[in-house]
Copies of this chain bind each other. A is one copy, B any other.
Amino acid sequence: MENKPIALDDKLKEACGVFGIFSSMENIHLSRTIFYGLYALQHRGQESAGIAVTSGYGIDYYKNLGLVSEVFNDDNILDKLQGNIGIGHVRYSTNGANTLINSQPLVVKYKNGSLAVAHNGNLINALRLREELEQEGAVFQTTVDSELIACLIAQDRSGDIVTAIKSCMSKIKGSYALVIMTENSLIGVRDPYGMRPLSLGKLNDSWVLTSETCALDTVGAEFVRDVEPGEILIINKDGIRSVMGEKASSRALCVFEFVYFARPDSNIEGRNVHLARFKAGMNLAKEHPADADLVIGVPDSGTVSAMGYAEASGIPFSIGIIKNRYIGRTFIKPSQDLRLIGVTLKLNALKEVIKGKRLVMVDDSIVRGTTSGKIVRMLKDAGAKEVHVRISSPPVTHSCYFGIDTSSQKELIGAQQSIEEIRKFIEADSLGYLSLEGLIDSTGIPANNFCTGCFSGQYPIKVMGDGGKYLYEKC
């Protein structure tokens, strides 16, 4: 606990990224491609990474705590992971003594051979399903949903993996983008609401599955299409086959992928994330104009929307804050000094640019409100005359139960305070949040295709209780 790093930002955390690849060529060495793919998905999870491969008999895997580059820093590890099918996973989670055991992919032996499962999302009925399986004699060694999913697949008596996955899907509720590997196939699965993204690509003769399309670019693959909500994609020697696993009731893609999680060079449901954020900035300018001299963004995530704001408002854009490129995933220990130093370890105002200026400062979101006030203060200390804070998404007012690390609702400043109270708290001269409509408009996707739970409290699936107990190990 005392080693808990200080969060130097105030962001929701994505919980996982998944990647898979299948080649029908034998003697091919795919672990390095998976490594590069996970590299491109690193922003979706920085606490553990793992790769599992098969060449038809048994599954080899390696996982550990750390960044992809740290876990696979020894070429020998990748060299030993030989196979023509493979999956990988990056994970974010709250730190604990036994998190290694919770790293993924989860690999098990069951009656039909070996099975590896990598999951992005969160099952909201996991505890109940675990209890049911336990009643039938099951034991659990981890707290991750992947273990539950593997167990449910193993329960099926049909002997057919697709039937088993369909059976599993009929039981689990929540969000899931899965890549599953048997000893001869790669399988992609997306929950019936399509809450978390999953895309299909092609790299020469290989098929690729990935949480985000940016990983396709990184490994040199072509985008083919998104996996559909409720769809099961089975890739094996016979080619690629699509089965509807669980009928999609309605679409409910996590809108926060567009706000912050996804990399700007990824496309989700055909829409480029960078362009959506630029458009969100434009909409923000229309909804919350400001009488100002300069628009600046809070790097890195606020920059694009700031450019959009500038474009729509006609107020010039400039870089006004410089980010320390080495702050990365640094574990800064709490200390008296640090509180004094505040945000300056990560960000620094460009005095010469902002001195005497009335600023529009654009950021993508405010979660707990712990850093925005410090940035406003830094800008004013550097000579800004006014700071008008504009947020390119609505206030975060509700917890997420589907794979995102929102703190408990009590910690969400948007749930606890009015906008005027928040403005005072962060000492901004004015504060404007983009409306939910404005945000959705920026994506070019119909509103009813999104889960907007964290902004609206409207979840696609009914969540009982405060849901908190379900969240101890997301992803």
Contacts and interface: CB of A to CB of B under 8 A. Distances in A.
Interface in A103-119: 106-111, 115
Interface in A79-119: 80, 97-98, 100-101, 106-111, 115
A interface, size bucket: 35 or more
A454 to B, nearest CB: 23
Given A220-B340, A337-B32, A337-B33, A39 B265 contact: no
Given A80-B97, A219-B341, A322 B265 contact: yes
Given A32-B335, A154-B137, A352-B274, A324 B109 contact: no
Interface in A334-351: 335, 337-338, 340-341, 344-345, 348-351
B139 A214 contact: no
A73 interface: yes
Contacts of A300: 325
Most B C-beta atoms less than 10 A away, residue of A61, A73, A274: A274
Interface stretch (A40-48, A187-195, A420-428, A429-437): A40-48
Nearest to A40: B324
A247 interface: no
A67 to B, nearest CB: 6
A79 to B, nearest CB: 10
Contacts of A135: 111
A351 B275 CA distance: 11
B264 A46 contact: no
Given A151-B139, A154-B134, A155-B137, A322 B33 contact: no
Number of copies: 4
B141 A108 contact: yes
Contacts of A351: 265, 272
B154 A324 contact: no
A353 interface: yes
A465 interface: no
Interface string A65-85: 001110001010000100000
A349 B264 CA distance: 10
18 contacts: A39-B324, A40-B348, A61-B98, A67-B326, A69-B330, A69-B331, A109-B141, A110-B140, A137-B155, A139-B147, A217-B348, A217-B349, A219-B341, A220-B344, A272-B351, A303-B319, A304-B319, A328-B328
Interface of A: 32-33, 36, 39-40, 42-43, 46, 60-62, 67-69, 73, 75, 80, 97-98, 100-101, 106-111, 115, 130-131, 134-141, 147, 150-151, 154-157, 214, 217-220, 263-265, 267, 272, 274-275, 300, 303-304, 307, 318-319, 322, 324-333, 335, 337-338, 340-341, 344-345, 348-353
